[in-house]
Amino acid sequence: MAESLTDTLTGLYSIRLNFTRTDTQETGSVSQTATKLLNYEITDGDGAGEADLVFSDTRTIPANTVEVINLLTLTQQTFEVAVPYTFRQVRLIRVINNETAANRRLLIGADPGRPQSTYAMEVGPGSEFSAINNVDAWIVTSENSELQIANPSSVAVSYSLYILGTSTQAMGGSGSGA
């Protein structure tokens, strides 16, 4: 059995946002389109703009249930060994809804007692949610270590989860909870 596993992270995460505004008037219509391309470079390490811990998984959440993911106690099977993940700071959280059929959505940050009414973000079929703070990261504490994902659909939904961050204890700072 392996005693340790080492990953080296180097990458560039990009988001393209397209905004279109169309004004319709009696004489015709005018459309304006603006594109904003945001690049976030995250390199290997535990300093500003760096990450040394990468978690990725494809999961299936049953219908009408809530999954609670604790960033301080994640584990994943790798080469038949349970590898622990303890995120002390988080730089990127990305959730991709792998389903493409209608009415198969996910709710991010859902209240377990009210998964259909209280949530921070809805991720529709084929869509994704990303939260990035590649400068000073979000400091993870026991009070804010849970990521909640709910499936209010009547069928199971498959999704991909990516978390990038650091395993080192935060030295203070102005990060907010993830």
Residues 20-29 pLDDT 10s: 777 776 766 7
pLDDT digits (tens, 9 = 90+) for 59-83: 999 999 999 999 999 888 777 778 8
Instruction: Tell me how far apart the alpha carbons of residues 176 and 141 are, in angstroms, rounded to a whole number.
Output: 10
Instruction: Determine the distance from the C-alpha atom of residue 44 to the mean position of all C-alpha atoms in its chain, rounded to a whole number.
Output: 19
**All domains of the chain in start order, with CATH:** 46-166 (2.60.120.770)
The predicted model gives 11-40 an average pLDDT of 68
Confidence at 1, pLDDT banded by 50, 70, 90: very low
Instruction: Tell me how far apart the alpha carbons of residues 168 and 175 are, in angstroms, rounded to a whole number.
Output: 14
Report which secondary-structure segment, H or E, holds 3.
none
Confidence at 175, pLDDT banded by 50, 70, 90: very low
pLDDT digits (tens, 9 = 90+) for 136-161: 888 888 888 889 999 999 999 999 99
Strand ordering across the sheet containing 10-25: 10-25, 28-44, 50-51
**152 in Cβ contact with 64 (< 8 Å):** yes
Location of structure tokens 């990516």: 162
